[in-house]
Each structure stands twice: as structure tokens, then as C-alpha cells.
Amino acid sequence: MRWEPAIGTLVKFLDFERPLNDWEKEGISHLEGSYPAVDALASLGPRALPAVLNVMESGSTSELSRHNAMVVWMLVYRDDLPKGVAMLAKEVEKASTDAAKQRLREAVNDAEKYCTPDDKAKCKAASEPRKETAQ
């Protein structure tokens, strides 16, 4: 799960949902998520961010893949969710096409939903890159 050369392959499987095991079919929950590539990419931490950013920007990936890429992004920033939103919002301005900017803006809006109630205001403020102070 921490083998960096696997990143390129893992992002291709962001929309792969593993089948339920027998326990899960009986209603006993599983500790890992339904999308193994999400867990694997999140375990790689910041090294996975450029690849998941490319997925979020791309018009050739499925909506589910783009959503799961955003989930990976927020899992990488799980210790500072407002920073995750802010860093993703900064990427909107860097996008090379209007379509990519739109897809990233949608990802930022979805990312805000992953913020805890205590972080909601900070995440909302972080989603507006022009309001941020220079770091």
C-alpha cells in the first residue's frame, strides 16, 4: 500500500468498488472502505496528490473517479481539513482550461462537505482563495 510506483495504476481504479464479503452481506461492517484504491492512495499521503489532482481535473475520468480522488485529497489532509480545502482551491486558479477549473471548483465544493462542524467556517473561508492571506 505504500509503493509509490503504484500511484499511476491506482488512480485508474478509483471507481472500482470491491464486492461485499460474507460478513458485510450479513450487516457486519468492514474497517476498510469499499474503494481499495482510495485507501491505498491515501496511505501514500502527499506523494499521491499530483495524480489525484490530475484525475479531478480530467474530463476523461468518471464522475465517481473524480469524487473518490477528492476523497483521497481530503484523507491526506485529514489532520487539517481547512488546509486541504485551501490547497485544492488554489489549484482551481492554476488549472489550464475553463472545464478543468469548473471540475476543480466542484471538487472544492464537495470537499467542504467533509469538514467537521468545528471546521465548517474555516473550510468555507478556505474555499475562497482570493480571501486568503499570503503564506
The residues, any chain, with a CB within 8 Å of residue 115's CB and separated by 6 or more, are 81, 82, 85, 122, 123
- Tell me the average pLDDT across 39-54: 96
Residue owning grid cell 501514500: 44
CA–CA gap between residue 47 and residue 73 (Å, rounded): 11
Q: pLDDT of 63-90, one tens digit each?
A: 999 999 999 999 999 999 999 999 999 9
- Other beta carbons within 10 angstroms of residue 127's beta carbon come to 21
Q: What is residue 130's predicted lDDT score, i.e. its pLDDT?
A: 53
Q: pLDDT of 84-107, one tens digit each?
A: 999 999 999 999 999 999 999 999
Domain span at residue 67? 4-131
* Model pTM score: 0.86
Q: What is residue 30's predicted lDDT score, i.e. its pLDDT?
A: 61
- Tell me the average pLDDT across 22-32: 71
Domain count, the chain: 1
